[in-house]
A and B are shown apart, each in its own frame.
Chain A
């Protein structure tokens, strides 16, 4: 009897040890996840087959697609550091080595460079010829030593209704590759997107219309900085198109944050509210991937059906809902100023004068020529990266990653089975022990013999169950470590290929820009000559003079002037003593807003727009008020004060039929 108890207690101790070991093993391995992704983006089906209803204003493009294409050598350390410190989708463990984080950071750029072209292809198929441009950015250190990005090409020198920032993202911790964290690897892609227009067209959101949720405050901050920069330029009497850095870079560097109202994707586009796009890990189209496996065909796009097609529809929907004239007016004036400074500032509001319209037509035609020229460059960037050897290698790389990921998924499934066996073994052992030694209440010899036989059998079974559990646990641990090793090995093996992709991208873009820029300068000078010889005189010209809104501060007016004061149409900017920045587009007299106008007010608490009639700098009568988080409202104003709701139609400086 005592022997039996001793044996049982020994087995219990052993089971406890196994249970402890298994618990540790399960903590280490966990229930292995298999890096799953959504079958398609949540954006699919929201605006299917959305036809383009808007027209690109003359001399403008409808969309520019911006993406990080390369990181300059001098900026690499800063980029890696920022990438590691600004993870999206979770906390970073201590398992990653610096070289692994760098590998992931590099692959983010390489993949962005490739997958951005999928979106470009879809946009180009939907929008009129030459109205969508590519703007690859170089991530670099700015003059202040901070990480920033600058466009490689002149694509952003032209006015565009919207600009679309695109990047793919991977969580910077290799140990979490198989988890739920964002990943762009193999058949998984995590896109980061933001769509913005000029702040004049969507003042309360700083121009941001749609953005991946984590990017929103940074995209708004980026928009605000761009607006402030362009106003400072205007204050110096210059019209220049500002080019904001990529929102993804603003996010990584934790740039300026501006809080703006945001709503979910399902609630649709809303005035003065940013549509928040969730960070989602999307599975590439399986059919397309198997087609790619059979033949590396550039026309097969595994991102198209699950993301790009729907995102392009969404962007068209955004363009349809954007005031295209306001979206381009500032950058258009800046672009025209390189040909005709005395005309440029008049274009903000426009005129029905014959001489003005004749001259504007020429200027717009020149911008159209530039637009077509730069569009050729975009098409060739697409061709060079997507259809050439670079694209072939990229598709091979995706397939190789896919194999690695599938292998890891297989191992994860085995690991889960092993863990399940381990649990079952432990449960079986536990059950055998719990059933306890039998025969203690036997009174006959036969009964005691039977009980001894049963106990011996139980002991063997328990031993087997414990050993099975141990083997399964060991297997789970081994599979987990093998899976991680595979991930690490791949990242270290692929480094030369990533480096090659980067260096070829640099060569291609550098060469493209050098070739284009030389001829672009030449073309521009020829266009300038053609313009100078053909243009007719203007009866009214735009110049620079004083402007104020009655607050005591004096600003700058670019437009029609008389006696050194704003007097006619144009644009004005003034910074008040409290730091509030006021910009105004419309009619003025005596140096102050007088007549129909659009006034944008940027204060520490946010930005808002007032459109209607102004008297000596103050809103008067029905005014359209645009504030963050609210639809536009028509309010009645008296001497600059809101005195209640109004049902009357406010005046607009952009509608010539409305009384000035």
Chain B
């Protein structure tokens, strides 16, 4: 139904329109999809496969490139061999070798396409997942490099939106598989159900992350505020404390001690006289 601002900015950066609205406008073109989507498997065997596809990714803006890399990475999450086999069975479309990755993702998000031809959506997802799986070392390497170059890219709120976009696309895949009846398939029902559960867990985790982000801000605000107020209050109370009271008490005690000493001495002399004088 929707893709985030981040995804839109990715698309805009590479010159594609991935807006659901745009997708809707291309609904009429469903039937006119390029007939010759060549098998990607062969392309995947090409040693330059990852390099070629990554070359299509936006290169002039680190932030957008990062978003795109993270999105593909996230789209391949929770993939099991069983579920991947199920995609092969229920996906029915061959993607042209000259298709861009963004074009494929755009098709996944296309609401008309996923309603009318869920098997194409499944095939498109399989294409992205394969790319993310095969090229994982390249993708994660580039993500790490970008994070090292710009620390702000690791911000939780920024990444939460990417995860949200990926979840949206993965939800489309899960819905498509259900629509195609994979959940009733004795061979794949388990993996389809596991994928659905994983989606819930990931969504929960993503939502929790954004909750925690919001809570963290609130927490920091209140803790700082409280700390400042308590410190000021302590300072005022401590400053108002009469520092002479204890000093006076000690001085009084000292003089009483001195008086006791004097008295004791006098008593001692008196006793001495009394005893030595025979009065004792």
Is A376 an interface residue, CB under 8 A from the partner?
yes
Contacts of A470 in B (CB 8 A): 275, 280
A358 touches B208 (CB 8 A): yes
**Which single member of B257, B267, B275 contacts A407 (CB below 8 Å)?**
B257
B249 touches A497 (CB 8 A): yes
In whole angstroms, how far apart are the Cα atoms of A390 and B252 in the complex? Answer: 20
With A358-B208, A390-B238 known to touch, is A396 a contact of B246 (CB < 8 Å)?
Answer: yes
In whole angstroms, how far apart are the Cα atoms of A526 and B237 in the complex? Answer: 30
Is A633 an interface residue, CB under 8 A from the partner?
no
B250 touches A493 (CB 8 A): yes
B226 touches A354 (CB 8 A): no
Is B36 an interface residue, CB under 8 A from the partner?
no
A530 touches B211 (CB 8 A): yes
Is B271 an interface residue, CB under 8 A from the partner?
yes
Contacts of A362 in B (CB 8 A): 208, 211
Is A523 an interface residue, CB under 8 A from the partner?
yes
In whole angstroms, how far apart are the Cα atoms of A479 and B271 in the complex? Answer: 13
B253 touches A489 (CB 8 A): yes
Q: Which residue of A lies closest to B236 (CB)?
A: A511
Contacts of B212 in A (CB 8 A): 365
Is A393 an interface residue, CB under 8 A from the partner?
yes
Is A380 an interface residue, CB under 8 A from the partner?
yes
A373 touches B271 (CB 8 A): no
Interface string of A573-608 (1 = CB under 8 A from B): 000000000000000000000000000000000000
- Distance (Å) between the CB of A113 and the closest chain B CB? 14
Number of interface residues of A (CB under 8 A): 58
Contacts of B245 in A (CB 8 A): 496-497, 500
Contacts of A380 in B (CB 8 A): 226-227, 230-231, 234
In whole angstroms, how far apart are the Cα atoms of A482 and B211 in the complex? Answer: 70
Contacts of A527 in B (CB 8 A): 215, 218
Q: Kindly specify which of B94-102, B116-124, B197-205 makes contact with the partner chain.
A: B197-205
- Distance (Å) between the CB of A418 and the closest chain B CB? 11
Is B243 an interface residue, CB under 8 A from the partner?
yes
Is A639 an interface residue, CB under 8 A from the partner?
no
Is A297 an interface residue, CB under 8 A from the partner?
no
Contacts of A392 in B (CB 8 A): 243
**Which single member of A379, A467, A515, A530 contacts B214 (CB below 8 Å)?**
A530
In whole angstroms, how far apart are the Cα atoms of A20 and B229 in the complex? Answer: 69
In whole angstroms, how far apart are the Cα atoms of A376 and B243 in the complex? Answer: 27
A474 touches B271 (CB 8 A): yes
- Distance (Å) between the CB of B254 and the closest chain A CB? 9
In whole angstroms, how far apart are the Cα atoms of A451 and B239 in the complex? Answer: 82
Contacts of B276 in A (CB 8 A): 467
Is B235 an interface residue, CB under 8 A from the partner?
yes
Is A82 an interface residue, CB under 8 A from the partner?
no
B271 touches A507 (CB 8 A): no
User: For window 116-151 of chain A, which residues contact chain B by CB distance below 8 Å?
Assistant: none
Tell me which of B197, B230, B235, B275 has the highest count of chain A C-beta atoms within 10 A of its own C-beta. Answer: B230
User: For window 276-327 of chain A, which residues contact chain B by CB distance below 8 Å?
Assistant: none
Interface of A is mostly: helix
Q: Which residue of B lies closest to A501 (CB)?
A: B246
A372 touches B219 (CB 8 A): yes
In whole angstroms, how far apart are the Cα atoms of A508 and B239 in the complex? Answer: 12
A534 touches B246 (CB 8 A): no
Contacts of B235 in A (CB 8 A): 388
With A380-B231, A390-B241 known to touch, is A373 a contact of B257 (CB < 8 Å)?
Answer: no
User: For window 63-82 of chain B, which residues contact chain A by CB distance below 8 Å?
Assistant: none
- Distance (Å) between the CB of B71 and the closest chain A CB? 24
A519 touches B225 (CB 8 A): yes
Interface of B is mostly: helix
In whole angstroms, how far apart are the Cα atoms of A430 and B1 in the complex? Answer: 115
Is B222 an interface residue, CB under 8 A from the partner?
yes
In whole angstroms, how far apart are the Cα atoms of A358 and B205 in the complex? Answer: 8
**Which single member of B222, B246, B250, B260 contacts A485 (CB below 8 Å)?**
B260
Is B134 an interface residue, CB under 8 A from the partner?
no
B246 touches A471 (CB 8 A): no
B275 touches A471 (CB 8 A): yes
In whole angstroms, how far apart are the Cα atoms of A369 and B263 in the complex? Answer: 64
Is B256 an interface residue, CB under 8 A from the partner?
yes
B243 touches A393 (CB 8 A): yes
**Which single member of B208, B219, B238, B263 contacts A389 (CB below 8 Å)?**
B238
In whole angstroms, how far apart are the Cα atoms of A523 and B226 in the complex? Answer: 11
Is B144 an interface residue, CB under 8 A from the partner?
no
**Which single member of A354, A361, A366 contacts B200 (CB below 8 Å)?**
A354
B260 touches A489 (CB 8 A): yes
In whole angstroms, how far apart are the Cα atoms of A587 and B264 in the complex? Answer: 78
Contacts of A373 in B (CB 8 A): 219, 222-223, 226
In whole angstroms, how far apart are the Cα atoms of A404 and B256 in the complex? Answer: 11
Q: Which residue of B lies closest to A505 (CB)?
A: B237
In whole angstroms, how far apart are the Cα atoms of A527 and B263 in the complex? Answer: 69
Q: Which residue of A lies closest to B243 (CB)?
A: A389
**Which single member of B208, B231, B253, B261 contacts A482 (CB below 8 Å)?**
B261
Is A494 an interface residue, CB under 8 A from the partner?
yes
Contacts of B272 in A (CB 8 A): 471
Contacts of B280 in A (CB 8 A): 467, 470
- Distance (Å) between the CB of B235 and the closest chain A CB? 7
With A369-B215, A373-B222 known to touch, is A404 a contact of B234 (CB < 8 Å)?
Answer: no
With A388-B238, A390-B241 known to touch, is A511 a contact of B233 (CB < 8 Å)?
Answer: yes
Q: Which residue of A lies closest to B263 (CB)?
A: A482
A369 touches B219 (CB 8 A): yes
With A354-B204, A493-B256, A496-B249 known to touch, is A475 a contact of B268 (CB < 8 Å)?
Answer: yes
Q: Which residue of A lies closest to B229 (CB)?
A: A515
A388 touches B234 (CB 8 A): yes
In whole angstroms, how far apart are the Cα atoms of A393 and B227 in the complex? Answer: 24
- Distance (Å) between the CB of B102 and the closest chain A CB? 32
Is A490 an interface residue, CB under 8 A from the partner?
yes
A365 touches B215 (CB 8 A): yes
A507 touches B226 (CB 8 A): no
Q: Which residue of B lies closest to A481 (CB)?
A: B264
Q: Which residue of A lies closest to B265 (CB)?
A: A478
**Which single member of A366, A400, A507 contacts B253 (CB below 8 Å)?**
A400
B218 touches A526 (CB 8 A): yes
Tell me which of B197, B214, B225, B233 has the highest count of chain A C-beta atoms within 10 A of its own C-beta. Answer: B233
With A389-B243, A390-B238 known to touch, is A534 a contact of B207 (CB < 8 Å)?
Answer: yes
- Distance (Å) between the CB of A284 and the closest chain B CB? 19
Contacts of B238 in A (CB 8 A): 384, 388-390, 504
Is B61 an interface residue, CB under 8 A from the partner?
no
Contacts of A507 in B (CB 8 A): 237
Is B242 an interface residue, CB under 8 A from the partner?
yes
Contacts of A390 in B (CB 8 A): 238, 241
With A489-B260, A530-B214 known to touch, is A474 a contact of B250 (CB < 8 Å)?
Answer: no
B253 touches A490 (CB 8 A): yes
Q: Which residue of B lies closest to A468 (CB)?
A: B275
With A361-B208, A471-B271 known to touch, is A523 a contact of B233 (CB < 8 Å)?
Answer: no
Tell me which of B201, B214, B219, B231 has the highest count of chain A C-beta atoms within 10 A of its own C-beta. Answer: B219
Contacts A388-B237, A404-B257 aside, 18 further interface pairs with beta carbons under 8 A come to A354-B200, A373-B222, A373-B226, A376-B226, A376-B230, A380-B231, A388-B235, A482-B261, A486-B257, A493-B249, A493-B256, A511-B233, A515-B230, A519-B229, A522-B222, A523-B218, A530-B214, A530-B215
Across the A-B interface, give the 4 residue pairs with the lowest CB-CB distance, nearest first. Answer: A388-B238, A384-B234, A380-B230, A493-B253
Chain B residues in the interface with A (C-beta under 8 A): 197, 200-201, 204, 207-208, 211-212, 214-215, 218-219, 222-223, 225-227, 229-231, 233-235, 237-239, 241-243, 245-246, 248-250, 252-253, 256-257, 260-261, 263-264, 267-268, 271-272, 275-276, 280
